[in-house]
Amino acid sequence: MRVWAPARGERAIARRAGEVSNPFQPDDALPGGIVALPTARANEVVYWLADERTVVPGDVLLGDGSGGIRLCPESWLPERTSRADLAASLRPLLELPVQRVLVSHGEPVLGDGRSAIEAALSDL
């Protein structure tokens, strides 16, 4: 089995999922045209699936319970990293034609994902 993981999170991911066969850096092109974009959580990336106009943000963006998304709680961030730092690291997503945001926690945003991201980043 092949396990792809951000190089900076390789150890933590290996503890949960087994040996990482393919460590990568943010902004590396991955199979299927997927691009991994950096976040303020150094060992976590956001995946951009250009053909599907879809963002898969892992734990940095969460469903907000009312059809939108929100930033993760500050308690989920590394020491000396604020929600403002996280928001700044996610601002490049606003340059993408995002239609969908597939969150790991909560309901996905299936239309106008860019506006949902913009609202989450401005809600500090």
Q: What is the pTM of this model?
A: 0.90
pLDDT tens per residue across span 42-81: 788 999 999 999 999 999 999 999 999 999 999 999 999 9
Reference 106, options 93, 116, 96; nearest CA is 116
pLDDT tens per residue across span 24-40: 988 787 999 999 999 99
Residue 102 neighbours by CB under 8 Å, 6+ apart: 54, 55, 56, 57, 108
Tell me how far apart the alpha carbons of residues 88 and 76 are, in angstroms, rounded to a whole number. 16
Look at residue 124 and tell me whether its pLDDT is greater than 80.
no
Tell me how far apart the alpha carbons of residues 90 and 116 are, in angstroms, rounded to a whole number. 12
84-108 burial string, b = 16+ CB within 10 Å, else e? ebbbebbeebeebebebbbbeebeb
Domain 30-122 - what CATH class? Answer: alpha beta
Backbone angles phi, psi at 31, to 5 degrees: -55, 150
